[in-house]
Amino acid sequence: MLKLLNLLKDGRFHSGQALGEALGVSRSAVWKQLQHLESELNLSIHKVRGRGYQLAAPLALLDAGVIAAQSEGELWPLYIHDAIDSTNAEALRAVGQGQAAPFVVLAERQSAGRGRRGRQWVSPFAENLYYSLVLRIEGGMRQLEGLSLVVGLAVMRTLHGFGVEQAGLKWPNDVLVAEQKIAGILLELVGDPADVCHVVIGVGINVNMQTNDQVDQQWTSMKREAGAPIDRNLLVARLNVQLQHELARHRRYGFAAFQEEWEQAHVWQGRKVALIAGTSHTHGIVRGVDGQGGLRLEVDGVEKSFSGGELSLRLRDDS
């Protein structure tokens, strides 16, 4: 099926006979594969008598060679999958099998993509970026402090470079454009965080998605904001460079070096919010983040810091 997709990805018309000859199958077999492409990958294919078959829009698939050619700095090993449960899950499996870090797992589609707090991450085929970077962490907890916030800065700056200039950060792991989510970050650890461990940095970016009724919150995409399709291979290359730069700075100086610039990028700075932990709600005003990446919240006139993987932040109606 993916061989057929590679023949069609140029967006031009191809006759059933030519496709069958290229694949070594009958025209009826080509027709069945086309039906699978439409149903399984939700692709729109035009069928015109006398001309053949054409994708509704050209398709640019992820390509390790193209990414490498557009990259600067260190070339991380890339593992690209056509379809997978989730890039984070595959990355964790690779760590368990002894794969040496750093490396990156990418996918065209996820069947079980997930965000924080177990939420589904909608993952249509070849439209967005589903990216997981695996790092080996030595030196204890200091190397993990504020790490997801540093990754958020790298993602935001990458988006700015593609013309999505209004992208900003929401504590702890979201990138927003005018209150609409455009990217999310999910970190997962395996090993001993006080000694040696591996961290999987999962990044999901809405790239060329235009419509999707499965997403249960306000969202936007790079294509919507920039007004043109985005080259996902170039996006991976630039994200790698940005991450390499920010992660090196984090290793050297810790999160305290990022504190001020992160607060400047926080779109809810000074806003009235509710901090949710399970069934508990804490109301306050966002004052920033501390030197470890925890949220600084003014609660009843007293500033307090909050951190933890299960916390969620929501704007209050009177904000």
Can you tell me the distance from the alpha carbon of 50 to that of 96, in angstroms, rounded to the nearest whole number? 53
The answer to whether 110 is a known ligand-binding residue is: yes
Pair 75, 237: CB distance under 8 Å: no
Task: Work out the mean pLDDT of the chain and round it to a whole number.
Answer: 89
Q: Which of 3.40.50.11540, 1.10.10.10, 2.60.120.380, 1.10.3720.10 is the CATH number of 2-55?
A: 1.10.10.10
Tokens 């177990």 identify what position?
118
pLDDT at site 177: 96
The answer to whether 116 is a known ligand-binding residue is: yes
Task: Look up 249 and say whether it is catalytic.
Answer: no
| pLDDT class of 114 with cuts at 50, 70, 90 | low
How large is the average pLDDT for residues 278-291? 92
Instruction: Read off the pLDDT of residues 126-181 as tens digits, 9 standing for 90 and up.
Output: 889 999 999 999 877 778 899 999 999 999 999 999 999 999 999 999 999 999 99
Q: Which of 32, 47, 51, 314 is catalytic?
A: 314
**For residue 172, cis peptide bond before it (omega within 30 degrees of 0):** yes
For residue 304 the two structure tokens come to 């307090």
* Of 192 and 225, the one with more pLDDT: 225
The answer to whether 227 is a known ligand-binding residue is: no
The answer to whether 284 is a known ligand-binding residue is: no
Q: Which of 3.30.930.10, 1.10.1060.10, 3.40.30.10, 2.30.30.100 is the CATH number of 268-315?
A: 2.30.30.100
Query: What are the residue ranges of CATH 3.30.930.10 in the chain?
Result: 64-263
Q: Which of 109, 157, 170, 181 is catalytic?
A: 181
Homologous superfamily (CATH) of 64-263 is: Bira Bifunctional Protein; Domain 2 (3.30.930.10)
Strand-pair category, 311-315 with 272-277:
antiparallel
Task: Look up 116 and say whether it is catalytic.
Answer: yes
The answer to whether 88 is a known ligand-binding residue is: yes
pLDDT at site 318: 62
Helix (H, G, I), strand (E, B), or coil: what is residue 101?
A: coil
Q: Which of 109, 116, 170, 238 is catalytic?
A: 116
Predicted model pTM: 0.89
